[in-house]
Each structure stands twice: as C-alpha cells, then as structure tokens.
Chain A
Amino acid sequence: MAYRYLWTPLELGPVTTRNRIVFSAHLTNYARNGKPTEQHAAYYGARAAGGAGLIITEEHSTHPTDWPYEKLIHGFHRDVIPGYRAMTDAVHRHRVPIFAQINHNGGQASSMFSRLPVWAPSAVADPLFREVPKAVTQSEIDEIIAGYALVAEHCAEGGFDGIELQCSHSSIVRGFLSPATNKRTDSYGGSLFNRTTLMLQIVAAVRKVIGSRMALGVRICGDELIEGGTTINDAVEIAKLVEASGQVDYINTSIGVATASLFMIEASMHIPPNYAMFIPSALRKAVELPVVGVGRFKDPLQAERALAEGHCDLVGIVRGQIADADFAAKARAGATDDIRLCLSCNQECVGRMGLNRWLGCIENPRTGREAERSAAALAITHKPSKPKRVMVVGAGPAGLQAAIAAARNGHSVTVYEKEPHAGGQVRLAASVPNRAEFGDMIRNQLTECKRLGIAIEYGVGVWPGFVDEQRPDHVIVATGAEPQRPWWAAAEAHNVCDVRDVLTGDADPFGDVVVIDEVGFHQSTSVAELLADRGCTVEVITNGMVVGQDLGITLDMENWWMRASAKGITQTVELVPMGMDGVTLSLLHHPTGTNVTRTPDWVVLATHASPVEWLYLDLKAAGRSVERIGDCVAPRRAHAAVVEGERAGASV
C-alpha cells in the first residue's frame, strides 16, 4: 500500500510536523521528586529518533493542590526547567517538535500527597478517588489560571515548541465542562457556554504567555461515557468555541473519563480498533483546525486509512510506539513487517501506571530503561571478541527473547523446540478468539529471529546427552511449565483438565463446567468464554474476592463482566476447593466456614503450573555453562519471560 498522507508535513500554527504520527501524552511515572528525569529525555528522544512526527509529553501539574499520584511532574516549580531542557534537547536533536501537556486534575485526585483540599468546580466526589473536593471560589479560579500561565512560561523557557491543554479525561477543565461535575450557579456553570469559561480563560492566559512562536492545542473529550457527562454534540460545540477564540492551533481528542471509564481510554484488545474515530471525525467536520485522532491505532496502514478517509489530520499512536520506538521509521522505510506490533494487552504499560510503577512494555524490555547506560543495562549491543555457540531450549517468549538478545550481540544461536511450532503458552492463550492479538508477541519475536538469522529446530526435544553431542558454549534453558493437578483433584479423575488441555483440544468439556480460578488472570475467563460459546453452562469459582482479579489492572474487567453476563457465565467468589469425590466437588466458603458442593460434568483448572526444571538441574549438576529463564524458574506471566530472556541473552 502506498502512503499518500502519513508522511506529508502539517502546520500546527508556528510548528511544522514532518509526518502525521503523534506520540501523544500519557503517564510514565518516570518523574522523581516532582521533576522530569534523564529517563524522560531518553524515552522521548528514542521515539523522536524512531521517526515520530510530534511528541507530546505527559502532563505537568499547574498547582500544588493537584497531586493525584506520587510521580507527577510539578511544573509549577521552577526547578523543572533543567529537566525540560534535557527533554526538549533530546527530541530536537532529531528535528522533531515537542509539546508539553499542562494540566490540573481538579477533583480527580485526593489529598494523600498534597495534604491540601482537592479543588473542583463543585463538591462532587470523584468515583475513583472518593474524596469530596472543595468548590473553588473566584480567587481560587484566578489562581488556577495563573498556575497554567506560570507553567506555560516554564515550558517556554524549557524549550518546548508548544503547549497542550488537557481538557478531556482527567482535568479541572473537564470538571468545569462536564454537567456531571459542574453544578455551579455562577458564570462558570449552567449553559455549555458558561461551562467553557474557564477553558477559554486559560487559553487566553497561556497564549498571552507563549506569544506566537509556540503552538497551542486543546484536548477535548468526545464522550465521557458517564451518566450526565458530555457527549459528542457538546464536544463539537466546545471545539467550535475553541476555534472561535482564534488562539488555538490544533485540537486533540479523547474518549472517556480517566477515573470512571478508563477502560475505554486505553482500550485493550477486546475493544475494536478505531472505536473512537467518530470523535475526530465529527470535530473535523465542524472546525478548520487540524484534529488529532486517537484510539488503538496499531499499525501504519490503519493510520493512513484514517487520514485518507478524512477522519483526522494527525494520528495519536502511543502504545504502538511504546512497543516499538522505531514504529514510524520502519513504516516509512517500507519495513512494516519489522514493526514490533503492540498487543494492546495493557499488562506492563497501562497496568503498571495504576500501580505507581514505571511504564514498561510486555514485549519491549528496553521501554522504561532507555536511560540505562551501564554495561549491565538491557539490550546494549556489543560485539563479543569471540562469538559463542549458544543453545536455547524452548521457543516460548523467554527462549525466543534470549535467542534474539544473544544473536544481536553476534553469538551463534540455535533454538530447539519440542513442539512443531513456537510460542509456548502464548500461542495457546492467543488461540481464544478474542485474545488473538496476544499472539502478535510471537509473530514479532519470530520476525526478529528471522532477521537475525536464528535457526529454530522444531520437534526436537533436548536431553543432557544431546547437549553433550552438540557441545554448545552456553545453554539457556527455557522449557516453561507444565500443568499440575492440585492436591484436591485426584490424578485419575478424568473429568478434570487444565485450561491448556481445553485450548490444545486434548480435552473437550461439555455440559455443566466449573472453572477453578486460582491464577486471577485471563486463563480462567478465556476458557470460560470459549466453553460458554461451545454451549456449556459455565461457573467460574475463585478462592479470592473477585474472579480474574488482575483483569482490573489491564482494564479488561468491565468488558469481561459484560461478555460473561451476556454468555450466562456465573461467577462465585471466596470458595476454596477441598476435594473431589467422583463427580462431587466440595468447596469451603472461607469467610463463613460453610461447605458447599457442585456436581459438574467437568472441572477445568486455571491453577498454578509446575516448572519443567529437570534439564536445567541435570546440566547444572554436570557442570555445564547453563542458566534458566522464564516459567521453568517459576511460572509467571509473559513479561517475566521476556525480561529474563533479554537479560540472559544479552549477558552471554
């Protein structure tokens, strides 16, 4: 496919972007003590080097009353400016413009860090933070506006090319715009026009500070997806008012409220791509200003199509460039297949944000560590003086990543996989229809293996004698984990199987099925859906307080509940399996100590696996140069496999 639009420049006021790909604003938790860090500079610098057209940084707070999470950049302190300089220099080095997003989160915060009352248009508690805010007075509104102007000044001094006002999903401006949170009766509340007053006052104050040499953008929410919130018609009117101010150079878009409908802002693979396209599309029809579209843009062709169909002028691609910093450069060079496609799994990017951890990526171990320069840092390429022959056992995510990292450093790598295909458990997980995109992880790794000339021998099991024959200099064991029967399920019970047995087709449960969830993630919910789709009556039982507890972290919980309800899947919590007598499953309701039973046709286990460690232990005992990675160390999630694979391969 030829690109007609993606690589064309665009003027945003005084700034020209070289292409239409935006690395739009998102939290990173890279700040320390309220200041941007070297990691920020390296992170944004890597995306600029990788060909992005425009970088918009994470939010900079405009006022001390705004401190919703620990690692927020306090833009209102002058001591942020050296960090700003480092960030903008790192990006400008690649002739890419960089804008700062400035923001006050308003009532979408708590006083935990600030020890100050939270400020909002009205005393309406946020559904996530659950703290009643203080309704701001006129003098406090003046202070808010002055805060934006002050931070804009810091940004100008720090070398930014533009400012974006986040008025969309977690902002005091959103609070004023939305009838759900603005209950004021003064000139800041009531009509839509009144509700835009604060936004327009901030626009004017910021423009006054930055003059005409910097661009100014406003990010608007197209649908808050909450009761009584703003919807697309409001958004169109707001966009018109923004344009009419004559002081704004572009409009960015978003969907949802960060503290109420986050699962639609950072949608996982269960939400179709382009789901938010109606927003830029509607706004672009109403205004002349360039409009940015966002919402699970995974690949450059999809981005091109959005531009070609006239939905937007620029495309925000965040997770795509988190997964592959060279997304744009690879696309531009025609090497689309080489792009490490984002899975939209949300495990290490979005999933770490809510837990106050630094932003990473399930399949890109470099993300979040761009600034590490020590010899021990991951993925630092150095050619060994004497390349080694490396044997990798197992072609799951751990083994493949180890092979990639070792081959990148010039070692000669052969991967042995006992199955006829690569991917291990990831391949199985992705075999469930609505989890298919998870399989892109293996596709990406195999593409990289091919590019690096790594040999993969399928259908070859490895045993110590084979290693003696092959005489590799180093062995990396990545043999994964195998299902194990929990103590309460007899090995001979043939109406019991593991999730993996269902996915491979080795077991075909029917009728009434109980799925036991002791892992708390997609294993139980995926198999439950699959079996419900096949006509089974499914109950998922967990010993925890919530089935699939970690689906909340990846923003899959809401969708799971909607799908599970539609499919008639029941969910029962706080039950511990105590034994199985033929067809009768005994369970203990642990909060009350009462016993219950089930008599299903099948029991499917989403329980902890057991590492396949014998090969590693044998080789180690024999004095081989060997190490083990991934699930054969301890059964965990794919990210642990990739991190350990990268570490092992890079340190051969």
Chain B
Amino acid sequence: MICVVRLLEPLTIGTATAPNRVMFGPIVTNLADDDRAFTARHLAFYRARSAGGCGIIVTEEASVHPSDWPYERAPLAANCPAGWKAIADACHRDGSLVIAALGHSGGQGSSAYSQSPLLAPSRVAEVNTREVPKSMEVDDIRAVIAGFVAAARTAIAAGCDGVEINAGQHSLVRQFLSGLTNHRGDEWGSDRLKFAAEILSGVRAAIGADRVVGLRLSCDELAPWAGITPEMAPEIAVALAAHIDYLTVVRGSIYTVEKTRPDFHEPPGFNIDLCRSIRSSLDPSIVVFLQGSVVDSGQAEWAVNGGVCDGVEMTRAQLADPQLVAKLRAGHAERIRPCIRCNQTCQARDARNPIITCVVEPSTGHESSDPDWYLSTHHRRDVLVIGGGPAGLEAARVAAVKGHCVQLVEAADHVGGNAAYIANVTPFTDWLAAEVNRLGVSVTLGARVDARPMATKPALTTSARAGAAGGFTCADAAKVEGRQILLQATGSVRGARPFTSDEHANIADIADVRSGVVTIPEDGPVLLFDPIGGPIAVAMAEHFGSRASLLTQDQISGNELSRSGDLAPANARLQQAGVRIERRTILRHVAADHVVVEDRFTGGQRNIPCVALIDCGFRLPAPPIPGADIAAGDCVAPRTILEAVLEGRRAANSLDTVPAN
C-alpha cells in the first residue's frame, strides 16, 4: 500500500490555499428545489464532505442564463446566492475551499422545461433526443457571456472562493471549442477559442485576481475526425491559461457522454496520460487536477507524486465515503468504504429526477433526513445475524458499532452472498467483511440456522448444518438485555419460470452459474433469458461471447442500463463479442437442444438451438425463518445491493425496539 502523504499536503490555487489536494467535483444531485435553487439537502450533502476533510468542494453546476435548463432540478445561478452562501459558510468552517461550477449546456440541454429552443454554435442535433438547436445569433452569444460574468460575480459575492467554468461534458463552451459542433463561418467559428476566452477574461475581470478561476476542459472528445484531440488539447489549455488558476482535465463529447464518468468497464485513472501531457504543457503556476474514475487513494497519491497532476478529483469515492480524507489523515486508508464504480445510483441526470445516492453508502443524498446510524445503544442486545451477504454484513457492522453483541452465521464457505461473485463489487464485500472482523463480530461460515430454538433453554448443540440458533449465544451474556434477536438476511432463491420446459432441458440458475455450483457445457450455443435488462445477464453474455444469445422482450439489450451510462457501451461490447441479441422475444418453452421463442409484436414462433439456458430472471425471497425478529435485504424482496445495505442499517437501528422477551 502506498503511503499517502503528498495528497494531504496543502495546495495553493491562485491566491487561495486548499488544505489538501482532494477535490469533490461538480455532480448532478437533483437536490435543488422547484425554483432551481440550492436547498438544505445540498448543504448537508456538501457539509458531509467538508467535515470529512475534502480540500476543494466544487458545487453542482449552475446554469448561467435562463436559456439553459438542462434537467428539471438544475440550479440557476440567479437563484443561488443564498445557497452558495450557506454552503460556503459551512464548508469554510471545516477548512475546505468552495468553488461554484458555472455552465451552459448549449445544444446538450433540454427544451422540455424552458419551452425555448436550445442554443448552440451550429445546428448539430443532440445525439439522444435528436433535437436541433438554434444556431446562436451574436446577441445570443453576448447574452450568454454576460450570464457567465454575472453568475461569477454572484457566486463570489455569496462567499465562494472561486468559480469553475465548464468546458467539459454537457457544455456550450466546449461546443464552441470543438469542430464537431462549431461550424460557424463568422469570427466565433474562425476562432473557436474566442467564446471561451471572452468568458474567462470577463469572469476574471469581474471577480479579480484574488479569487480562483478554474476551467473544466474536455481534452479528448474521442472523436478525432473533428473533435478536440489529445494533441490539440495542450494548445487550447495554453491559450486559455492566462485567465485561469486551475484546470481539470476531463474527456468526452456529444457522442461519448458516457465516457466522461464511466462505470467500472473503464480502468481507474483512464485520464492519466492525457492529464500528464496537459500538466507538462502548462506553466507550473496553473494547478492541474486529474479526473476520471480515481477512487483509490493510492492511485491519487501516485499521480500527484508522479507529475501527472497537482490535485485529484475524487467525487464518486467521496460519495461512497465522505470521510475519505479524514480516514487517510488518521492513517486508516483500509477503512475507507470503497466506491465500486457501478454508477447505479450516482448518475442522477435522469428524467425521473432520482436523488443522488450511493449503492454502498445509501445515506448519500439523504444526509439531512437519515438518522445518525451509529449512535451508541443504551440497550445492548444479543444479536444473531443469519446470512452474510451485503444486508447481513451491513447489519452486523452497524449493530457492532452501536455496541450490540453481534454474531453472524453464513451457510456458504465465504461471506458476501451473490455480490461476492461480481468482480467490481468484491472490494465492497471484502471491506464489509474486514470491518465486521475489526469490530469483533464473530462470524461462523458453513452453518445454517433454520429456526429459533423452541425450547425455553438454549439448545446445547450447534454444529455446522445444525438447525436452530441455540448455539450462538453472546459470549458476554451477562451484559446484554433480554433474549437473543434473530436478524434474517438470507437473500434470495431462484424465481418462478414464466416458460415451460422438457424434462431433459438444461436450465441453469444464473446464481448457480456464477458461484460455480453448476457448469455449462464447454461447447454449443448458450441462451440467456433476461427479462430484467440489468447488468448481470449482460456480463454473463459477454463472458460466453459468440456462443451466447441474449433473449430480451425489449428493443434493446440491457434496457435498464441507461442510468449508469452503460447502455450504449454494453450494446457495443455485446456485439463486438459476437453475442446475438434476440430482441422483442418472449421465451415460451425450453427443450433439451433448443428453445421456442415468440415475437412480442407478431406472435410468430421459432426455435433457437442451445445446449443450455441460463435463467437471469427475477428471484424470490428465501423463505422466512420461524422466529426471526427482523428481516433485511433480498429475503424481504430480492432487489439490488443498495436496498440490502440500507435495510441492513435500518435493521441494526431497529434492534432497540425489539421486545426484550
């Protein structure tokens, strides 16, 4: 493990000094209110990160002009002074710098809320909505530049230490910089830097030299035919450097929105080379931040030490653990709750307006309403957690922190449940196991508990495979109140199958395939039945590659992946791997060597040969354990890790309310 030192050193940015080099970047939260202003929920959200030691907090991007309303709860700068002040005041008390992100989404916005045309340099249709923007008139350009300047003035007057101008993803400034989106014949097209330069110089003039001006710049649009390339980016950065104090290196364009903050399919630190080249081109007085799936403090330290950057944006890592910096300072890097880069619930730019949250830290986004989970108990109870998946481990962990006497039994020979078989999730299940161990929870593997002992006296024998809970009593029985509490977290079992099958049909449950209980024949076509459209069947299909066919009733495979940003990448990966995608398909019958499927719209049936069918469908809760007091996670209803963790916590917090007798 790398010893983290440099990352925690102060960092001078212009005339300001951050207490360390860790940045919490601007991220969509949906915490704003109906008036596009920051709320008390925002305040609690940022406060949790500043209290956890974060050096630089960049607030959620505010639109600088009413022509930009990219998502319903997007803050509007004119409505943000009170919010910025509250956030700046609170975070300053913890020593953090507070920077206000300012932007305009241009042609990547939405006209649904403003009911006005989108503005862009040229009429390039938005990729997903296909909406054609208005090619901005010079009056429009002047109005937006004035909006940036006014917004910067507002943010500084509210007490922010500086502003960050977005020329990264979803930005009009980048649309002007890029040949992909700027086809203008006037001076704003012949000099594509003009728009950015006028904004930055105007902002600098408005807020003065003693405030921070930052720039978030897409340095690789991943569209070399016309976009900004890594070769061009240093030139752009140098040309704009006169106006700025720091630059955050990002990537992505209108065609690659999902590449800016991608999920675990992209390696951590994917911008390292890009960032190093920008760092080496710029004057050392300009601070450069590395962005891009940096979730590990060791990698961040290495990057700062190795001349890649001066500071590191670690946004998702601090969604997963707001205490990241504090734990590093205390020398407990191993106690940092790991971001698993799943993107399942932290990507809030979604029409449904989900509140930002985190699969491994479900109180993220709910800081102002969730209870303090870790308050010490006044009623120390003897708790037996049955099941060592995410729900059981989290329940055991929180119960132990609160001071209960906790034991955990797990039927398998390892903890983590089904989650332990997913490569990107194992850092989290490993962390849970380590924390539970550190907190002194006694964990018994390979043991099942099927019932509370019926006898008034505890049963004396409990061996592996024994039935009742009697043998697992608190070692320190004198110090606990009341009877033992059984907390069930036994997960799920395979679901009902909405198709018929022959006796010799080879149907495997996906959980059994992943755990290795069932093996799939070495040769021949494999079918995956996926009524869910989530990441699990897609991953399994990729594993089988050209042998696999993915059956979906949807028009798109992995239909539910749009929120994490993996929809288009997943469909590309599947096709590159040679997976056949059977769309609009209903599975009717499974025979020994083929399945019968039906077209969803025409009802036409056909056969698809296969040697095995893997059922990736909905699961059912494990049966209730007689005498269990509390249940959490998939044994309540099979869902995702987020619900397992949240219910594990809630279960631990409800222990005090279980009757003592």
Residues of A within 8 A of B (CB): 32-33, 69-70, 111-113, 115, 117-118, 123-125, 127, 130-134, 352, 355-357, 518-520, 544-546, 549, 557-558, 561-562, 565-566, 574, 589-592, 608, 610-611, 633-636, 640, 643-644
A111 and B601 within 8 A (CB): no
Given the known inter-chain contacts A130-B560, A356-B72, A633-B134, please indicate yes or no for A591 contacting B571, CB distance below 8 A.
yes
In the complex, what distance in Å separates the CA atom of A520 from the CA atom of B126? 12
Q: Which residues of A contact B351 (CB under 8 A)?
A: 355-357
- Cα distance A123–B636 in the bound complex, in angstroms: 10
Is there contact, CB below 8 Å, between A636 and B132? yes
The reply to whether B353 and A546 form a contact with Cβ atoms under 8 Å apart is no
> Is the pair A519, B637 in contact by a Cβ cutoff of 8 Å?
no
Docked-complex contact A132 and B638, CB < 8 angstroms:
yes
> What's the Cα separation between A608 and B72 when bound, in Å?
26
B279 neighbours in A (Cβ, 8 Å): none
Partner of A112, one of B130, B133, B352, B568: B352
Judge if B272 is at the interface, Cβ distance under 8 Å. no
Chain A nearest CB, measured from B107 CB (Å): 10
| Chain B proximity of A432: nearest CB distance (Å) | 20
**Complexed CA–CA distance, A610 and B122 (Å):** 11
B637 near A118 with CB under 8 A, answer yes
Q: How far is the CA of A248 from the CA of B256 in the complex (A)?
A: 57
Identify the closest chain B residue to A611 (Cβ): B123
16 A-B residue pairs with Cβ-Cβ distance under 8 Å, sorted by A, are: A70-B352, A115-B646, A118-B637, A130-B531, A132-B495, A355-B351, A518-B125, A520-B130, A546-B555, A562-B601, A591-B571, A608-B130, A634-B133, A635-B132, A636-B117, A640-B111
- Bound form: Cα–Cα A643–B117 in Å: 11
Cβ-based interface call for B584 (8 A): yes
Chain B residues, CB < 8 A from A558? 601
B619 near A132 with CB under 8 A, answer yes
A125 pairs with B618, CB closer than 8 A: yes
Q: B408: CB under 8 A from chain A?
A: no
Q: Is the CB of B637 within 8 A of A634?
A: no
B602 near A608 (CB under 8 angstroms)?
no
- Judged by a CB distance under 8 angstroms, whether B572 is at the interface is yes
Residues of A within 8 A of B133 (CB): 634
Bound CA–CA A127/B553 (angstroms): 10
B118 at the A interface (CB under 8 A): yes
Chain B contact residues, CB within 8 Å of chain A: 34, 72, 111-113, 115, 117-118, 123, 125, 130-135, 351-354, 362, 366, 495-496, 531-534, 553, 555-556, 560, 567-568, 571-572, 575-576, 584, 599-602, 618-621, 636-639, 643, 646
Indicate the member of A111, A125, A558 with the most B CB atoms within 10 Å: A125
B117, B495, B532: the one contacting A633 at CB < 8 Å is B117
Please, how many angstroms separate the alpha-carbon atoms of A549 and B34 in the complex?
A: 29
In the bound complex, what is the Cα–Cα distance between A589 and B555 (angstroms)?
A: 17
Which single member of B112, B534, B575, B618 contacts A132 (CB below 8 Å)?
A: B618
Cα distance A70–B125 when bound, in Å? Answer: 29
Contacts of B599 in A (CB 8 A): 565
Taking the closest CB of chain B, its distance from the CB of A130, in whole angstroms, is: 6
Is there contact, CB below 8 Å, between A592 and B130? no
Contact B556 A545 (CB under 8 A): yes
A-B contact count (CB 8 A): 119
Residues of A within 8 A of B602 (CB): 561-562, 565-566
In Å, the complex CA distance between A635 and B531 comes to 38
> Complex formed: what's the CA distance from A263 to B354 in Å?
25
Which of A113, A123, A520, A591 is B637 in contact with, Cβ under 8 Å? A123
In the bound complex, residues from chain B placing their C-beta under 8 Å from that of A118 are 637
Residue in B132, B362, B601, B618 whose beta carbon sits within 8 Å of that of A608 in the complex: B132
Give the nearest-CB partner of A115 in chain B.
B646
Residue of A nearest to B584 (CB): A561
A549 CA / B128 CA spacing, docked (Å): 9
A562→B72 CA distance, assembly (Å): 35
* B636:A117 contact, CB within 8 angstroms: yes
Tell me the interface secondary structure of chain B in the complex: loop
Contact A592 B576 (CB under 8 A): yes
The interface residues of chain B lying within 8 Å CB-to-CB of A608 are: 123, 125, 130, 132
Is the CB–CB distance between B555 and A132 below 8 Å?
no
Evaluate whether A69 and B352 lie within 8 angstroms (CB atoms) in the complex, with A125-B618, A132-B620, A565-B602 already known.
yes
Q: Which listed residue (B117, B553, B601, B637) contacts A117, Cβ 8 A?
A: B637
User: Which residues of chain B are within 8 angstroms of A130 by Cβ–Cβ distance?
Assistant: 531-534, 560, 618
B234 to chain A, nearest CB (A): 29
Bound form: Cα–Cα A113–B352 in Å: 10
Q: How far is the CB of B98 from chain A (nearest CB, A)?
A: 27
Interfacial chain B residues near A592, Cβ < 8 Å? 572, 575-576
Q: A112-B354, A519-B130 are in contact. Are A634 and B118 (CB under 8 A)?
A: yes
How far, in angstroms, from A292 to B278 measured CA to CA in the complex?
69
- A644 and B111 CA atoms in complex are apart in Å by 12
Nearest neighbor of B568 in chain A, beta-carbon distance:
A545
Cα A640 to Cα B646 in complex, Å, equals: 43
- The distance in angstroms between the C-alpha atoms of A634 and B137, with both chains bound, is 12
A566 to chain B, nearest CB (A): 8
Docked complex Cα distance between A546 and B560 (Å): 15
CA distance A370 to B495 in the complex (A): 48
B571 & A70 in contact (Cβ 8 Å cutoff): no
Q: Within 8 Å CB of A33, what residues of B?
A: 34
Given A118-B637, A130-B533, A608-B125, residue A643 in contact with residue B571 (CB < 8 A): no
CA A134 to CA B639, docked complex, whole Å: 10
Alpha-carbon distance between A566 and B599 when the two chains are bound, in angstroms: 13
Query: What chain A residues lie within 8 Å of B532 (beta carbons)?
Result: 125, 130
Residues of A within 8 A of B575 (CB): 589, 591-592
In the complex, A561→B572 CA distance in Å? 24
Given contacts A545-B571, A561-B584, A562-B602, could you give 9 more A-B pairs where the C-beta distance is less than 8 Å? A112-B354, A133-B637, A356-B352, A545-B567, A561-B600, A565-B602, A591-B576, A610-B123, A634-B134
- Most chain-A CB neighbours within 10 Å: which of B132, B533, B619? B132
> In the complex, what residues of B have CB within 8 A of residue A589's CB?
575
A40 smallest CB distance to B (angstroms): 14
B353 and A356: CB pair below 8 A?
A: yes
Interface centre among B134, B496, B637 (most CB of A within 10 A): B637
A586 to chain B, nearest CB (A): 16
Nearest-neighbour CB distance to chain A for B143, whole angstroms, equals 15
Contact of B117 among A125, A519, A640 (CB under 8 A): A640
Q: Is the CB of A591 within 8 A of B572?
A: yes
For the complex formed, measure the closest distance between the CB of B499 and the CB atoms of chain A, giving whole angstroms. Answer: 12
Q: How far is the CB of B365 from chain A (nearest CB, A)?
A: 10
- Asked if A634 and B123 sit within 8 Å, CB to CB, the answer is yes
A32 to B534, CA, bound (A): 31
